[in-house]
């Protein structure tokens, strides 16, 4: 350590060191009088900034996450600490010197909604007392979940500790941010999201790192947020795939937060309208307790839910089995509009006609150039390829020569057009990729939304129609049923209670397990059933799996180098995108650490040999098929 850098070189600062003749970025993790190295030591070249942005507990967490996901510490630290913004650092230091102490802690938590859950008041008391309860919370229909989380945070802060909360998207973040402002007062928390931009994000990060605030909320960018005396971690809707980090080593926000709770002896809340198999595993192993309402409260709060594919409905409407909008759904929407109530229609696909086929022989329409699927952008539009974008104005079916096209899948915009004609004079709004609505007025109107883009209606929706259920249930995905139920419950939760006229119609067979869980509003039952089936079949989370994707020779090379546990089972190979292939490695959960270590070591050997073809390692991937 050069003498001139001694004062600034504290643990947690960014530094530069000379490695293999080049200056590279690094972190100063610890200082010691003796390194134990008998050879020659190099000097630290530079302290980039005297700001200790890497907290010791975050460094420890990053090391654990890297080991858990067979990744490197450097990759995790790039996710944990946002890029430096020098001007923001200068402003923060100047303001810290001028400002006095921060605002006082709130007097105490409220508990407006938690008494609806038998274990809710005890959860708040434990948080206020500084204990570490762990809960899997199944929210009631119509629940103001941001307010419940704000009450839990207020209890934690009143007990002298901090909190980190993670949601899936910025729309949920805005709701949670407003609820925390009401519960804690101004200046008591910060929002951390990649959408803030470099300066605002770094300013919020430094506020948490310096201890100016005790609470951080955000999207998955906040899962590593530094909070002093961490007392609570919470995640909402952990089944949303936005919680999975798309950059190496691909950690999931739920797993990172649960690891933080374990390392810091903090409380944890995994909440949602639905329940994932991973959350159910926490309950069944005793790591967490479930927080649910009794059945009488659930029935009083839920809307009336009916399927269109059960026997009584088919007897009244034989066409319900094949109709996209059966008579029950149409009648439900009409009655709600007559009562001057808004109607929500959930459509799984965006666009107009995202998939078309030959009108004569039903052969899917493909691009003549790249074989990608053709789609129609509008009623007057020309079919165009969804992959390469080429227009297929002179399309002819290669099977029968037909030139007319029909819809294979109907998108949200086409649905809005059809319903607008069916209910003339009723305002029609769409919420999806192009524009996501946060709220809509409470009067008569139609809202066509894709899953995850459903707005909140003033007073609740009078009717919710869940269309094209087959598009969700027939996906080649391990989580197809779980994902369908998650999307249905999220939409149905926006409806009014049955006593206030709220109705939900799902266009599906009532005998299907996800539909049964929706009809009874019993996500716990479905999660237990799903976990039992995965345990029997050897699927996550009952086992630990890793995927190895790359060129066939590179995949074989890595697996040959890896010293896998004896209990490891190799599945594959199967084709991946392009000319790559994928192998799956499955081990019992007890051997998860050994699997990750073996794969990480093998990847390190290939890197040392400067192997040309990259291999993607992913532990517990969301998609197995």
Q: Which residues are known binding-site members for Zn(2+)?
A: 358, 361, 367, 370, 385, 388, 397, 400
- The residue with tokens 């419950």 is 489
The H or E element containing residue 488 is helix 480-492
Q: How far apart are CA 145 and CA 178, in angstroms?
A: 12
Q: How far apart are CA 454 and CA 448, in angstroms?
A: 8
Q: How far apart are CA 316 and CA 319, in angstroms?
A: 9
Which of 236, 259, 193 is CA-nearest to residue 620?
259
Q: How far apart are CA 219 and CA 427, in angstroms?
A: 33
* 8 Å CB contact between 495 and 505: no
Binding residues: 358, 361, 367, 370, 385, 388, 397, 400
C-alpha distances (whole Å) from 335 to each of 340, 444, 464, 501, 600 are 9, 10, 12, 10, 60
Which of 29, 63, 60 is CA-nearest to residue 44?
29
Torsion of CA 190, 196, 200, 206, to 10 degrees: 50
Q: How far apart are CA 82 and CA 208, in angstroms?
A: 13
Q: How far apart are CA 57 and CA 167, in angstroms?
A: 22
Which of 50, 45, 43, 42 is CA-nearest to residue 9?
50
Those residues whose C-beta lies under 8 Å from the C-beta of residue 363, and which sit 6 or more positions away, are: 357, 397, 398, 399, 400
C-alpha distances (whole Å) from 223 to each of 155, 157, 208, 562 are 20, 18, 13, 30
Q: How far apart are CA 232 and CA 139, in angstroms?
A: 18
Within 10 angstroms of residue 83's Cβ, the number of other Cβ atoms is: 8
Q: How far apart are CA 271 and CA 275, in angstroms?
A: 8
- The residue with tokens 């803030």 is 196
H/E/C letters for each residue in 561-583? HCCCCCCCEEEEEEECCCCCEEE
């Amino acid at each position: 350590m050069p003498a001139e850098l001694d004062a600034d070189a504290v643990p947690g600062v960014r530094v530069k060191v000379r490695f293999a003749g080049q200056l590279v970025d690094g972190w100063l993790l610890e200082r010691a009088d003796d390194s134990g190295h008998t050879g020659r030591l190099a000097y630290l070249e530079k302290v980039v900034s005297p700001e200790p942005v890497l907290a010791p507990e975050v460094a420890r967490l990053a090391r654990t996450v890297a080991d858990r996901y067979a990744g490197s510490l450097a990759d995790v630290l790039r996710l944990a600490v946002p890029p430096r913004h020098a001007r923001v650092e200068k402003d923060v230091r100047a303001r810290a010197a001028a400002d006095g102490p921060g605002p006082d802690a709130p007097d105490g938590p409220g508990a407006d909604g938690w008494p609806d859950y038998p274990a809710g008041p005890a959860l708040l008391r434990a948080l206020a007392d500084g204990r570490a309860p762990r809960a899997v919370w199944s929210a009631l229909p119509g629940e103001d979940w941001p307010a419940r989380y704000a009450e839990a945070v207020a209890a934690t802060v009143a007990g002298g500790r901090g909190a980190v909360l993670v949601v899936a998207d910025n729309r949920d973040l805005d709701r949670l941010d407003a609820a925390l402002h009401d519960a804690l007062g101004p200046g008591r928390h910060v929002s951390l999201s990649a959408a803030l931009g470099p300066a605002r994000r770094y300013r919020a990060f430094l506020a948490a790192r310096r201890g100016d605030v005790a609470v951080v909320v955000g999207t998955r960018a906040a899962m590593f947020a530094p909070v002093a005396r961490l007392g609570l971690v919470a995640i909402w809707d952990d089944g949303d795939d936005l919680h999975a980090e798309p950059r190496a080593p691909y950690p999931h926000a739920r797993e990172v937060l649960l690891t933080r709770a374990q390392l810091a002896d903090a409380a944890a809340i995994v909440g949602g309208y639905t329940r994932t198999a991973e959350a159910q595993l926490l309950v069944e192993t005793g790591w967490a307790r479930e927080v649910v309402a009794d059945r009488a409260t659930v029935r009083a709060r839920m809307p009336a839910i009916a399927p269109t594919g059960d026997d009584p409905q088919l007897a009244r409407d034989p066409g319900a089995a094949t109709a996209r909008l059966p008579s029950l759904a149409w009648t439900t929407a009409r009655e709600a509009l007559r009562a001057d109530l808004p109607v929500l229609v959930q459509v799984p696909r965006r666009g107009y006609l995202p998939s078309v086929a030959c009108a004569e022989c039903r052969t899917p329409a493909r691009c003549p150039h790249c074989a990608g699927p053709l789609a129609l952008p509008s009623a007057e539009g020309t079919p165009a390829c969804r992959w390469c974008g080429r227009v297929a104005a002179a399309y002819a079916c290669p099977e029968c020569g037909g030139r007319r096209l029909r819809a294979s899948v109907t998108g949200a915009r086409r649905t809005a057009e059809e319903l607008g004609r069916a209910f003339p004079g009723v305002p029609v709004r769409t919420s999806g990729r192009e524009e996501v609505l946060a709220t809509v007025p409470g009067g008569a109107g139609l809202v066509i939304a894709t899953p995850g883009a459903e707005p909140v209606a003033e007073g609740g929706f009078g009717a919710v129609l869940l269309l094209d259920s087959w598009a969700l249930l027939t996906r080649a995905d391990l989580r197809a049923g779980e994902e369908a139920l998650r999307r249905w419950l999220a939409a149905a939760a926006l409806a009014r209670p049955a006593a206030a006229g709220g109705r939900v119609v799902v266009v599906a067979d009532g005998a299907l397990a996800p539909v049964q869980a929706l009809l009874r509003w019993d996500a716990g039952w479905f999660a237990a059933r799903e976990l039992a089936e995965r345990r029997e079949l050897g699927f996550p989370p009952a086992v630990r799996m890793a995927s190895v994707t790359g060129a066939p020779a590179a995949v074989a090379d890595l697996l040959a180098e890896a010293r896998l546990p004896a209990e490891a089972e190799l599945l594959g190979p199967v084709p991946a995108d392009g000319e790559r292939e994928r192998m799956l490695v499955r081990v019992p959960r007890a051997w998860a650490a050994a699997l990750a270590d073996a794969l990480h070591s093998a990847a390190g050997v290939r890197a040392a040999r400067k192997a040309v073809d990259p291999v993607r390692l992913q532990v517990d991937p969301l998609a197995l098929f």
